[in-house]
Homo-oligomer: A and B are copies of this chain.
Amino acid sequence: MDKEVELPETPNPGHLARCAQLAMVLEVAASPKPGNVDRDHDYPDTTFEHFLASAIGTYPVLEKAAMPQGVGVYSGVGALIHAAAKESSRWQRGGNTHFGAFTLIIPLLIAMGSNRAVSEIVEKTTSEDAVEFYRAFSIADVRIDSVPEFDLDESNSIERIQEAGTRLFDLMKLSAGHDLIANEWVTGFTRTFRCADLIREKAATMTINDAIVCTFLQMLAETPDTFIQTKFGREKSVEVSERAFEVISGSRDLDSIKHRVHEFDERLIREKVNPGSTADIIIGGLFVALVRGLEV
* A11 close to B (CB within 8 Å): no
Copies in the assembly, this chain: 2
Is A91 within 8 A of B14, CB to CB? Answer: no
For the complex, is A104 an interface residue (Cβ under 8 Å from B)? no
Query: In the complex the two chains form, is A53's CB within 8 Å of B296's CB?
Result: yes
Say if the beta carbon of A47 comes within 8 Å of chain B: yes
Knowing A29-B52, A52-B29 touch, does A296 contact B39 (C-beta < 8 A)? no
Any B CB within 8 A of the CB of A215: no
Residues of B within 8 A of A92 (CB): 295-296
Counting CB contacts under 8 A, is A40 at the interface?
yes
Contact of A25 among B14, B25, B209 (CB under 8 A): B25
Cβ-defined contact, B14 with A47, below 8 A: no
Q: How many chain-A residues does the 8 Å CB contact rule pick out?
A: 29
A121 near B: Cβ within 8 Å? no
Decide if A26 touches B40 in the complex (CB within 8 Å). no
Could you tell me if A208 and B56 are in contact, using CB atoms closer than 8 angstroms? no
Q: From known contacts A25-B25, A56-B25, infer whether A296 and B50 are also in contact, taking CB-CB under 8 Å.
A: yes
Binding site for B on A (CB under 8 A): 14, 17-18, 21-22, 25-26, 29, 39-40, 47-50, 52-53, 56-57, 59-60, 91-94, 207-209, 295-296
26 pairs across A/B with beta carbons < 8 Å?
A14-B59, A14-B60, A18-B56, A18-B57, A18-B91, A21-B56, A21-B59, A22-B52, A22-B56, A22-B91, A25-B56, A26-B49, A26-B52, A29-B29, A29-B48, A39-B39, A39-B48, A40-B40, A47-B207, A49-B207, A49-B296, A50-B296, A56-B56, A92-B296, A93-B295, A93-B296
